[in-house]
Amino acid sequence: MAIAVLGLQWGDEGKGKITHLLAKDADMVVRFNGGPNAGHTVIDRGVKFGTHLIPAGAFYPNTISVLASGMVIDFEVLREEWDMLSRHLGWQPRLLIAENAHIIMPYHRALEELEGSGKHFGTTRRGIAPAYRDKAAKVGIRVGDLLRQDIAKQRLERRLDLLKREWPNSEEVQSLDAGVLLEEQLSFAQPLLPSIGNATSAIDNALEAADRAVMFEGAQGALLDVDHGSYPFVTSSSTTYAGLSNSIGISNPDIDRRLGVFKGYVTRVGAGPFPTRVSGELAERLRTIGGEFGVTTGRPRDCGWLDLVALRYTVRLNDCTGLAITKLDVLSGLDEVKVCRSYRLDGESIENFPLAADVLEGCEPEYETVPGWREPISEIREFSGLPSQVMGYIAFIEREVGVPVEIVSVGPEPEATMMRA
């Protein structure tokens, strides 16, 4: 049995909570994309964590957490998380790190600053894009290279030679030394070196075993996908179900349940178009009540009404079999809730999501208003106990996207979650 948990908006949908809950029933949890630019908020045993690399399976002693080859890994961040969780849990999380995943080196973070990509695209400045670019250019350093130090040093020397020629006036770049960088990476990775191996084979074996449950944990959201998102204001990896297969190295994996996660409204952090963005008092209300600040950067998120044009697109893109709606409690106290059903572009109404950011920037939302609810819902634990307006809002979304809502979340705590399936 296998399930994929995928974000359907611009990330920050509350996937951390959903993956944490579902991971307790999994033998293996696989993170298949991205790096420490993604952050999942998890409440475990009453303690709140912001994780960036370690999959949700790390919170359970009998679950193996896999960092797959589609990821880029910052060993300083990974070691910090591994140590932190080991202290909290009282045991060391069981990790398997793909030998063919790529490493984020310190110069990748420096490049984001030198090139100004963080300022222009609103990136997290974690070195993600430069690391993926090195991967494509065949000058990257892979996780398995740390097990062959002579090879790792040769590849580092080659990369630094190219880098120093490209940035002759940067003191930071010119001072880089391959031997020092390698020793630094080995110091961070030392206790994790035995966890490096063939992740593809392990995932394939787990999928083939009839008695094993596997969960695939996506990072970020579908609208940030490097191919299918609001390009160029996207991340540098495949964030959708469409990209999962290549990211784990298995053609057509048998994943019978594909759960898409979305908020009852929409948020976006960083630069890029956002058709349903609101401002003023409403934006501040959603941001404050919803705690809409980036897990990785702490930046305030822009907030807006639910966008069904985008949601229909990402549900199809991920081939969702079910949905999880989060943060419905944040909408409590509103007399009415707006939902974008279409866009107006150049005087015409359109229902298809534009793939170019400049086109999306010119789209104006066409709203439908549905009844809101005044009463708080964060203490409700049974779906039947929700106000009729809330159930009506969920039913409206289900009709529009053609996929059932299986999980309803009304608060950050694990118990504030209702399973309908």
Give the chain's domains with CATH numbers. Answer: 2-101+192-259 (3.40.440.10), 102-190 (1.10.300.10), 262-419 (3.90.170.10)
> What is the rounded distance in angstroms from the CA atom of residue 284 to the CA atom of residue 302?
9
Q: What pTM did the predictor assign? A: 0.92
Q: Please name every residue paired with 71 in a beta bridge, in sequence order, or none if there are none.
A: 34
CA–CA dist 135, 129 (Å, integer)? 10
User: Which active-site residues does the annotation give?
Assistant: 12, 40
Name the one residue in this structure whose structure tokens are 């596997």: 214
Q: Per the omega criterion (within 30 degrees of 0), is the bond before 232 cis?
A: yes
Buried-exposed string 125-138: b where 16+ CB fall within 10 A, e elsewhere: bbbbbbbbebbeee
Tens place of pLDDT for every residue, the chain, 421 residues? 899 999 999 988 988 889 989 999 999 999 999 998 766 677 777 777 778 899 988 889 999 999 999 999 999 999 999 999 999 889 999 999 999 999 999 999 989 888 876 555 555 678 999 999 999 999 999 999 999 999 999 999 999 999 999 999 999 999 999 999 999 999 999 999 999 999 999 999 999 998 899 999 998 999 999 999 999 999 999 999 989 999 999 998 989 999 999 999 999 987 899 999 999 999 999 999 998 887 666 778 999 999 999 999 999 999 999 999 999 999 999 999 999 999 999 999 999 999 899 999 999 999 999 999 999 999 999 999 999 999 999 999 999 999 999 999 999 888 899 998 5
